[in-house]
Structure 1
């Protein structure tokens, strides 16, 4: 038995059209042929203006760019916090030979923790760099990449230097 285009289908077509969904995507979502959607859209006075679709696509790209920039800021903040933690006091906890809990404040974290924090900072910076590559049209991206590359090298050297001569005693 053939299916008919119901009032609910018309309402859904109107809503998807108002949301800026393309004709082909509406057909896919509703399970109708593109020609059927075109005929009913014309009957309802709806058009699929390419300029409107282009404007919606451009707006979506702007929204995505904004989200990437927010994520970049979070990644830089994570890198900064990790770096700060490598240079701040550290509470070392453990157990004595009698099984009692002990705690001691150190001027900076032991080498293993410093190495882990440095790796976290480098990972965040690498992700920042990858996100920056998504926005290659932006000004200053090449300078940011260069700066991040230099910072990554410096962090690697610091981690390697801190790892020397430490037996990871806790």
Structure 2
């Protein structure tokens, strides 16, 4: 046994049904459902008979789906932006540092005024990822200010990395300078 064998051959009656349903205004998929045929079979039969299907409804449905997806991406981008804002707020909030271990497997913790540098680095990296994803979902309309924002985030990440390296090396972080170096807006 080989080749494609049709268990349900196309008959003149099938062609007549396709022509009648088409004349009644039914679309290809509806005709396929009613005649228990594949949409491809209906398309082939319609083409053989010179029948075409109105694509207006399909095009409108596609435009609606595209608009719905754009709205969902915008909502997700907004949520990611909110996540990034909450993460950056944590940089300067009181925090708890903790550790499990020792021979008695104890839990030790300490409340600190703000997270340590390594935690800040992780918060900034995660916030950066959330911002990046939100921008990919809904890119800004114009590029005005984008370079400045990237520069500011880059400077912040560089500064946090320097503080982290200093803490790892056992050095004291330099005191904050209220005047700044003039780079910030």
What TM-score does the superposition give when structure 2 sets the normalisation length?
0.61
SS at match of 1:54: helix
CA offsets per residue over residues 112-169 of structure 1, 9 Å max, x none?
Answer: 1111111001111111222223xx7xxx442474464245324423422331311299
**Is 1:35 aligned to 2:44, yes or no?**
yes
Look up the match of 1:14: 30
Look up the match of 2:163: 162
Higher helix proportion (structure 1 or 2): 1
What TM-score does the superposition give when structure 1 sets the normalisation length?
0.66
Match for residue 63 of structure 1 among 64, 68, 73 = 68
Look up the match of 2:118: 112
**Alignment: residue pair count:** 147
* Deviation for aligned residue 1:86: 1.4
* Deviation for aligned residue 1:64: 1.2
Find runs of 4+ consecutive structure 1 residues off by over 6 angstroms: none
SS at match of 2:167: coil
Larger radius of gyration: 2
Look up the match of 1:74: 79
| Distance in 1 separating the partners of 2:90 and 2:75 | 23
Look up the match of 2:98: 93
Unaligned 5+ segments in structure 1 are 18-26
Q: Which has the higher contact order (CA 8 A, sep 6+)?
A: 1
Greater CA drift, 123-132 or 147-156: 147-156
Say if 1:63 and 1:15 are closer, same or farther in 2 by CA, change over 3 A: farther
